[in-house]
Amino acid sequence: MKRLRVTGPVIMIMLFLLPLHVVYAEGLGNARLSLVEGDVQIKTEDSSDWIPASVNMPLREGDNIWVPDDGKAEVQTLGGSQVRLDEQTSLEILDLDKNSSRFFLTSGRAYVNFMGDIRRIIQIDTPVSSVRAYDRAVFAIEVAGAGDTDILVFRGSVNAEDQSGATSVKAGWMLSIGGSYADLAPLGSVDEWERWNMDRDRRFEGRRFVSSGYLPEELDSYASDFDDNGKWVNVRDYGYVWTPTVAVSVGWTPYRHGKWSWIGGDYVWVGYEPWGWAPYHYGRWAFSSSIGWFWVPPARGAVYWGPGFVGWISTPAYVAWVPLAPGEIYYGHGYYGPHSVNIINISITKIVVKKIYRNVYVNNGVTVVHHDTFLRGRRVEFKHRENPFLKDRIHIGRPNIKPERETRMPVIRDIPRGKEPPQRIMDVRAREIKKQRSFVREKEKSVFAPNMPGRELKVKTLDAPKERKRKRPELPVQQQDIKRRPAMIPQVPEEKEKKALPAEKQQLEDKGALTRDRREIKQKQGRTIQAPDTLPADGTEKKGKRQPGPQDNQRSEKLQKPEEKNRSGRTGKIEFNAPAEGESSGKDVKQRKKEERPVEDRQMKRDKSRDTSDKGAPLRPVQQQLPEKMEKQEKRKMVREPNEEPKDEGPGRPGPVTPAEGSR
């Protein structure tokens, strides 16, 4: 193995010659995307178009964020303040350092949980107003399409102003500012968006984080990430260290689940783990056979953010890196605290590998990818059997690979065309907005006129909550058809409505129709004893009649029963003959009828099915049986004695018909 020595005097001399303005890409460690839901997009100064955003992506001045439909995003600043964005929201980052931040809300909704102190300030501008907070405050800003702004304060107070003046808005109130009005009203009911934000606030407030006792003060705002995703263990030589328990598996290694992205003039690691911010940009990693990989926090007072503390090897075929252990030197393009060397104006050619990178001997500790995978993010199968750090020459600093469009993307993902920002959002230029409006840190000065004393804003105070100006933008026609239009109910034609009815209802309606037909027949029977003409083939009595057929005579004997309601629902008066000599009468007749009824009922049911089977022929009327009945009744009367009285056949059962009754 080649032994290469570091020429210490050369490095020391060159460090003294470094000019003070030579620093790394400024502002990369001051804010990150701590939450990304949906197809959130970002436009940076490094990219010429909108690209997909990723969790744990560092943010800097000049970045534009767009949250489309069904999306959410959260920006976390260095001090722990959070700015959450709802769908259809556009936010531009104008100024950003470790103690202050300024944003421009072009449209949409932003919820701000500001962890203020005497050193920090946050300013959020809108097209018609500017809002500043100096102390601890929780507030929301909503911008309508025309730029009208609603400022809602839930905790603390904020300073709000427009070109006509400034005022203070306290908790429990909402200030609405437009081109010609300023209304102050009490807060209304909490909506779903605000409720979601308040629930998320409870994750960070009112909790005593265990990690706060092990982290330096500068990293205390990330204590929730450590508590929720790992544990602290006491390790010999290092003290208390943190080991992850979430989003790790067998064979897991630091700096593997993510992507190197070109941001701010350097290759920056974007970790996809939910905790993948502080452990990848602060401190160092080490390995123990008892607990596996663990993270060693930086010492108090020596907390410096870095793009990714690794050692590099870069060849035309592949790129490899290994996590740096505590005390190992990081060579970067800028100063990143103790145990780092700024190589912008330094040439280092000799390094002793054995004494520097301890993690190269850890099983699966070195990550090797194909050159195209590193450049474009597309996975290319590449097998490397030997450890490149024990074979090839170590590369000092980041790889000298010219970035492409995919290299600038923190994650490789396709964005649907319908989720892209509208043209009015694409035309916004953060740098131009920054020139038009000042960042004012003093409370007494005005944002719109920094050189003039501030004026009091004339406000109209209302007693009841006011309706908010912002409305959700109209969806495209295709999305309206899917989400907003009610289901179309087809119109059922009248001739088909009967078929669509339930079976029971249809049966009842058919039964009622048959009842009406039999009622009409009954009325005709009471008026005449003559055999009626036949009914028309369509089943209506008014349009035509038909002559009785041979089947009618066969049915006449079966239908000779007392007046009662049959199963078809039709009621007709049927004459019942008196018993002849030798036959029983009275109770005997009743008993005989009771015994024979089941058979007769079944016979009537079969007759009914036969009569209704042909849709063109209706049920035959009872009057067709009258000629034969009248003939039989006349014969029985001739046998009867002249002075014999008719017998009573019981209630509801008529006696024999006399000649006078028959004539009627």
- Note every long-range contact of 233-240, with CB atoms under 8 Å and residues 24 or more positions apart, other chains counting: 233/291, 233/294, 235/288, 235/291, 235/294, 238/286, 238/294, 238/296, 238/326, 240/214
Q: In which band, very low, low, confident or very high, does the pLDDT at 468 lie, cut at 50, 70 and 90?
A: confident
- The tokens for 652 are 């509801």
Statement: residue 87 has pLDDT above 90:
yes
Q: What is d(CA 535, CA 449) in angstroms, rounded to the nearest whole number?
A: 100
Q: Answer yes or no: is pLDDT of 503 > 90.
A: no
Whether the pLDDT of residue 5 is over 80: the answer is no
DSSP annotation string for 117-144: -TT-EEEEE-SS-EEEE-SSEEEEEEE-
The answer to whether 397 touches 352, Cβ cutoff 8 Å, is no
Give the full edge-to-edge strand order of the sheet including 292-296. 230-235, 239-244, 292-296, 284-288
Question: Mean of the pLDDT values across residues 99-123?
Answer: 93
The residue type found at 590 is K
Q: 535 versus 41: which is more confidently predicted?
A: 41
Say which DSSP state 439 is in.
-
- Per-residue confidence at 562, pLDDT binned at 50, 70, 90? very low
Tell how far CA 230 is from the center of its chain: 29
Whether residue 450 has pLDDT greater than 90: no
* Residue 218 reports pLDDT greater than 50: yes
Q: What crossing angle do the helices spanning 587-613 and 550-558 adopt, rounded to 10°?
A: 150
H or E segment and range at residue 332: strand 330-332
pLDDT interval class at 180 (50, 70, 90): confident
Whole-prediction pTM value?
A: 0.68
Percentage with pLDDT > 90 across the chain: 49
| Per-residue pLDDT reduced to its tens digit, 310-351 | 999 999 999 999 999 999 999 998 899 999 999 887 766 655
For every residue of 605-648, which 3-state class applies, written as one string? HHHHHHHHHCCCCCCCCHHHHHHHHHHHHHHHHHHCCCCCCCCC
pLDDT at 260 over 80: yes
Q: How many residues does the chain have?
A: 664
Dihedral sign for Cα atoms in the order 234, 238, 240, 246: negative
CA distances 596 to 552, 591, 603, Å, are 22, 9, 11
Higher pLDDT, 497 or 327: 327
User: What pLDDT does 159 receive?
Assistant: 96
Residue 557 has pLDDT above 90, yes or no: no
Nearest one of 259, 275, 307 to 413, comparing CA atoms: 259
More confident residue, 200 or 490: 200
Query: What is the tens place of the pLDDT at every residue in 27-73?
Result: 689 999 999 999 999 999 888 789 999 999 999 999 999 999 999 99
Query: What pLDDT score does 510 carry?
Result: 53
Q: Tokens 């339930």 belong to which residue?
A: 502
* Contact yes or no for 160/166 (Cβ under 8 A): yes
Taking only the tens place, the pLDDT of each residue in 573-586 is 434 344 444 444 45
Is the per-residue pLDDT at 241 higher than 60? yes
Residue 20, token pair as written in the block: 């003070």
Q: How many CA atoms lie within 13 A of 580 on its CB side?
A: 7
Query: What are the backbone dihedrals phi and psi of residue 423, each rounded to the nearest 5 degrees, phi first?
Result: -65, -35
Give the pLDDT score at 619: 46
Q: How does pLDDT run across 384-416, given as a tens digit for each residue?
A: 778 888 887 788 889 999 999 999 999 999 999
Contact 155, 136 (CB under 8 A): yes
Q: Residue 587: how many CA atoms within 13 Å on its side-chain side? A: 0
Range of weakest confidence among 324-338, 420-434, 476-490? 476-490
Least confident of 38-47, 363-372, 654-663: 654-663
Rounded Cα gap, residues 300 and 337, in angstroms: 12
User: How far are the Cα atoms of 233, 356, 581 from residue 589, in angstroms, in the given order?
Assistant: 104, 122, 13
